[in-house]
């Protein structure tokens, strides 16, 4: 049977993690179909049809799909599900919100946040904030699986030409109404996909001091991350949080500044290729995962870091 991928998009184009989810879906079965539910989403549907891994696109449109409300989306997918063995989406806030609603309707025990496909019914997933890895095997006939996007490479985004089929929309769920979305616009790379991430923690002491993180991130063309403590303290907005209940990042370089390294934070960044920690407490747990640790006052070290970077002829982008 085929795999049904739920595309994540903004009606104009695909969200980048759709490419990672396509890769994961194709590792389960090569016959991957993708459903795109939205409003006036032709451009995004076309982009989806161009992914070489996708064999067929199903486009479902209605005004009430404009804002991705799970109560409207779930019945559409439940209806399509009879033709598929697996339903796949990313384990980000889009997929986390939506997939369990589908799984319960299908009476399926969902498998969340997989980091590896071992067999079509067997997956590897982190538990306890990544402090243990569980190999789990689904006994359900139909499988609902969310994938950790950073654990799968993005697929090619062009070269394919899958047919686009339209399917009828379902009714609107009138008891849930979208009001607004406050997206933080930024020219920086996205936190989830950036090559370099510079993160600040409680040690920053104030939102104002986050300017130091911003300067360093500018220099390195990096995304800005934060520990939960920094977000809780109001130094920076929630979309920057890295950790067990925030975002999981796997950049080539992760620079943790003034972050002690609580278990919850390590869960979100310890798979990064190279980790740098700058902290004045030499005993801070962050040093246990750091490839390069610098025991120093960040208010002296970060300006020096900028100076040293200025001396370099080139910096990778």
Q: 158-217: which residues touch another protein (CB under 8 A)?
A: 173, 175-184, 192, 196
CB–CB of 265/285 below 8 Å?
no
| Residue number, 97 or 157, with CB nearest to another protein | 97
Map the footprint of another protein across residues 15-54, applying CB under 8 A. Answer: none
Between 39 and 97, whose beta carbon lies closer to another protein? 97
Handedness of CA 68, 167, 90, 86 (dihedral sign): positive
Instruction: Indicate the DSSP class of residue 153.
Output: P
For another protein, which is the closer residue by CB, 58 or 111? 111
Alpha helices per DSSP H over 221-297: 228-232, 263-269
Which residues, in sequence order, are bridge partners of residue 36?
59
The distance of closest approach from Cβ of residue 308 to another protein in the complex, given in angstroms and rounded to an integer, is 4
Classify residue 58 as exposed, middle or buried by CB count within 10 Å of its CB (0-12, 13-18, 19+). buried
Query: Smallest gap, in angstroms, from Cβ of residue 51 to another protein?
Result: 21
When the beta carbons of 109 and 161 are compared against another protein, the nearer one is 109
Q: Does 89 bind another protein (CB under 8 A)?
A: no
263-282 binders of another protein (CB under 8 A): 263-264, 270, 273-276, 282
Cβ closest to another protein, residue 133 vs residue 161: 133
Binding footprint of another protein, residue count (CB under 8 A): 92
Q: Does 297 bind another protein (CB under 8 A)?
A: no
Q: Residue 154 to residues 26, 51, 52, 159: CA-CA distances in angstroms?
A: 11, 10, 12, 14
Contacts of 291 (CB under 8 A, 6+ apart): 274, 275, 276
Q: Using CB under 8 A, which residues numbered 101 to 120 contact another protein?
A: 101-105, 107-113
196-200/253-257 β-pairing: parallel
Residue 105 · residue 170 · CB < 8 Å: no
Q: Least separation, in Å, of the C-beta of 166 and another protein?
A: 26
For residue 273, which of 215, 190, 200, 197 has the smallest C-alpha distance?
197
Instruction: Please identify which residue in 29, 31, 50, 239 interacts with another protein, judged by CB under 8 A.
Output: 239
233 is a contact residue toward another protein (CB under 8 A): no
Residues 244-263 that bind another protein (CB under 8 A): 244-245, 247, 252-253, 263
CB of 164 to another protein, least distance (A): 26
């Amino acid at each position: 049977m085929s795999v049904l991928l739920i595309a994540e998009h903004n009606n104009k184009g695909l969200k980048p993690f759709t490419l990672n989810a396509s890769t994961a879906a194709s590792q389960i079965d090569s016959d991957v179909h993708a459903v795109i539910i939205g409003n006036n989403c032709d451009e995004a549907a076309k982009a989806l049809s161009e992914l070489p891994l996708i064999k067929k696109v199903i486009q479902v449109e209605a005004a009430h799909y404009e804002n991705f409300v799970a109560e409207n989306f779930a019945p559409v997918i439940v209806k399509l599900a009879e033709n598929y063995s697996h339903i796949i989406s990313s384990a980000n806030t889009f997929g986390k919100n939506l997939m369990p609603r589908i799984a319960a309707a299908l009476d399926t025990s969902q498998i969340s946040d997989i980091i590896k496909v071992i067999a079509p019914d067997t997956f590897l997933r982190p538990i306890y904030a990544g402090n243990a890895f569980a190999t789990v095997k689904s006994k359900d006939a139909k499988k609902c699986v969310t994938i950790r996007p950073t654990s799968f490479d993005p697929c090619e985004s062009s070269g394919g030409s899958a047919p686009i089929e339209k399917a009828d929309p379902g009714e609107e769920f009138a008891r849930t109404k979208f009001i607004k979305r406050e997206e933080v616009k930024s020219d920086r790379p996205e936190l989830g996909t950036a090559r370099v991430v510079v993160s600040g923690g409680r040690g920053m002491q104030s939102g104002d001091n986050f300017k130091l993180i911003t300067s360093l991130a500018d220099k390195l063309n990096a995304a800005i991350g934060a520990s939960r403590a920094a977000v809780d303290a109001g130094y920076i907005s929630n979309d920057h949080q890295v950790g067990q209940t925030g975002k999981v990042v796997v950049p080539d370089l992760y620079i943790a500044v003034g972050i002690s390294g609580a278990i919850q934070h390590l869960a979100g960044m310890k798979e990064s290729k190279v980790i740098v920690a700058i902290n004045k407490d030499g005993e801070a747990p962050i040093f246990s995962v750091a490839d390069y640790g610098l025991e120093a006052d960040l208010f002296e070290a970060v300006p020096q870091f900028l100076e040293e970077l200025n001396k370099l002829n080139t910096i990778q982008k």
